[in-house]
């Protein structure tokens, strides 16, 4: 697949998840074969105010490429400024968030709220595309609710504005992340535009990825929650779709080693204090389904140091014997 002049290899990309898809997690998913990654969403206004946090969110390492910076905002000029500013971090593309369902983002006219005004969506994409010399992509949803399903119209508006690809999450804003995603809307968007369409929603296995591609005709799949505590899903998808091979799930020891790599990088990049606080949710995802997982999750929620984390890993190994 090509996004503008950017060659993308592979079948599945990592979704831009706030509070989850940070640099440590993106690198890990890239190691397992994610076709590309996208940063956590960055506030365009935050960039215009020279926010230190916004700058940190845009840091990209060579290990995770190709990788884009995702921006959110509602003002074309501000979005254009933010996109141009982000070039100092050398992203491979700019992604515009038009799909976040979180109330605090939508209440300021950003995220999925933008889908209520396709013409504004077009103007934002046009402004950003004019400001940078790298491809611009967009992430959208089915619509804001069941009475306002307009993914096709928004995708067409974004294409008219210069977007080089669009990722479609098959749920409305009102649905958040439940019930099941509607893959039919992904097919409808694919039939309505000429640019690549990336399908998103309920891809939790390699078989899910294959079915989404077959049922919708989309060009690639995007994995979000299916990768949490399960970054090896990308290698499973690639093996299944390229060779028809079903990879064995990692052993418990392998899973703990992967988790260890992840949490150590998290602490390296953010410091042990912040890193361990953020690690707690990841650990809960990695140990999901294990014997005694509820008690282990409770203990993980109190971890403060890497030494305590290593002790927890030893307990996990002992409790599964």
Which pTM does this prediction carry? 0.94
Dist. CA 295–CA 299, nearest whole Å: 6
Q: Which structural domain, as residue segments, surrounds residue 283?
A: 252-319
Asked if residue 271 and residue 171 are part of one domain, the reply reads no
Q: What is the CATH number of the domain that holds 261?
A: 1.10.1200.80
Asked if residue 314 and residue 178 are part of one domain, the reply reads no
Average pLDDT over residues 10-36: 97
Asked if residue 142 and residue 60 are part of one domain, the reply reads yes
Residue 218 in this model has a pLDDT that exceeds 70: yes
Active site residues: 100
Asked if residue 293 and residue 199 are part of one domain, the reply reads no
Asked if residue 269 and residue 183 are part of one domain, the reply reads no
pLDDT at residue 319, rounded to an integer: 83
Asked if residue 281 and residue 215 are part of one domain, the reply reads no
**In contact, 239 and 209? CB cutoff 8 Å:** no
Domains in the chain, number: 2
Residue 55 in this model has a pLDDT that exceeds 90: no
Asked if residue 219 and residue 292 are part of one domain, the reply reads no
Asked if residue 261 and residue 183 are part of one domain, the reply reads no
CA-closest candidate to residue 63, choices 18, 28, 17, 39: 28
Dist. CA 321–CA 274, nearest whole Å: 32
**In contact, 235 and 33? CB cutoff 8 Å:** yes
pLDDT at residue 321, rounded to an integer: 64
Residue pLDDT, tens place only, 3-16: 999 999 999 999 99
Dist. CA 258–CA 216, nearest whole Å: 33
- Which of 243, 269, 301 represents a domain boundary (last residue)? 243
For 2, 96, 143, 179, 223, the CA distances from 196, given in Å and listed in that order, are 8, 15, 19, 26, 16
Contacts of 199 (CB under 8 A, 6+ apart): 167, 168, 170, 183, 186, 212, 213, 216, 218, 220, 221, 222
**In contact, 35 and 9? CB cutoff 8 Å:** yes
Asked if residue 257 and residue 223 are part of one domain, the reply reads no
- Which of 199, 226, 243 represents a domain boundary (last residue)? 243
Asked if residue 219 and residue 293 are part of one domain, the reply reads no
Residue pLDDT, tens place only, 79-129: 999 999 999 999 999 999 999 999 999 999 999 999 999 999 999 999 999
- Which of 209, 243, 277 represents a domain boundary (last residue)? 243
For 263, 269, 315, the CA distances from 273, given in Å and listed in that order, are 12, 11, 22
Asked if residue 147 and residue 77 are part of one domain, the reply reads yes
Residue pLDDT, tens place only, 246-275: 999 999 999 999 999 999 999 999 999 999
Asked if residue 256 and residue 197 are part of one domain, the reply reads no
Residue in the structure block whose two tokens are 């049922």: 215
Lowest average pLDDT, out of 24-28, 33-37, 49-53, 297-301, goes to 49-53
Q: What is the CATH number of the domain that holds 65?
A: 3.20.20.70
């Amino acid at each position: 697949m090509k996004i503008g002049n950017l060659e993308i290899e592979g079948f599945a990309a990592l979704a831009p998840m706030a509070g989850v898809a940070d640099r440590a997690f993106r690198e890990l998913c890239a190691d397992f074969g994610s076709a590309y990654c996208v940063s956590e969403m960055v506030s365009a206004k935050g960039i215009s105010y020279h926010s230190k946090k916004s700058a940190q969110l845009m840091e990209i390492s060579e290990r995770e490429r190709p990788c884009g910076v995702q921006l959110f905002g509602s003002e074309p000029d501000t979005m254009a400024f933010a996109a141009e500013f982000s070039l100092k971090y050398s992203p491979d593309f700019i992604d515009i968030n038009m799909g976040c369902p979180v109330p605090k983002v939508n209440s300021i006219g950003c995220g999925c709220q933008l889908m209520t005004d396709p013409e504004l969506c077009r103007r934002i994409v046009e402004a950003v595309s004019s400001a940078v010399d790298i491809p611009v992509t967009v992430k959208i949803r089915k619509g804001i609710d069941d009475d306002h399903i307009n993914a096709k119209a928004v995708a067409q508006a974004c294409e008219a504005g210069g977007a080089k690809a669009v990722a479609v999450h098959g749920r409305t804003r009102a649905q958040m992340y439940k019930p099941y995603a509607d893959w039919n809307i992904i097919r409808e968007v694919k039939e309505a535009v000429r640019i690549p369409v990336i399908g998103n929603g309920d891809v939790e296995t390699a078989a899910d990825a294959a079915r989404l591609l077959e049922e919708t005709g989309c060009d690639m799949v995007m994995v979000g929650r299916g990768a949490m505590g399960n970054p090896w899903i990308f290698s499973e998808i690639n093996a299944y779709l390229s060779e028809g091979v079903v990879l064995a799930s990692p052993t418990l020891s392998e899973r703990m080693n992967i988790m260890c790599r992840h949490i150590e990088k998290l602490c390296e990049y953010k410091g042990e204090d912040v890193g361990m606080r953020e690690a707690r949710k990841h650990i809960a995802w990695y140990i999901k389904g294990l014997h005694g997982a509820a008690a282990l999750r409770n203990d993980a929620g109190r971890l403060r140091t890497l030494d305590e984390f290593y002790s927890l890993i030893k307990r996990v190994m002992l409790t599964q014997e």
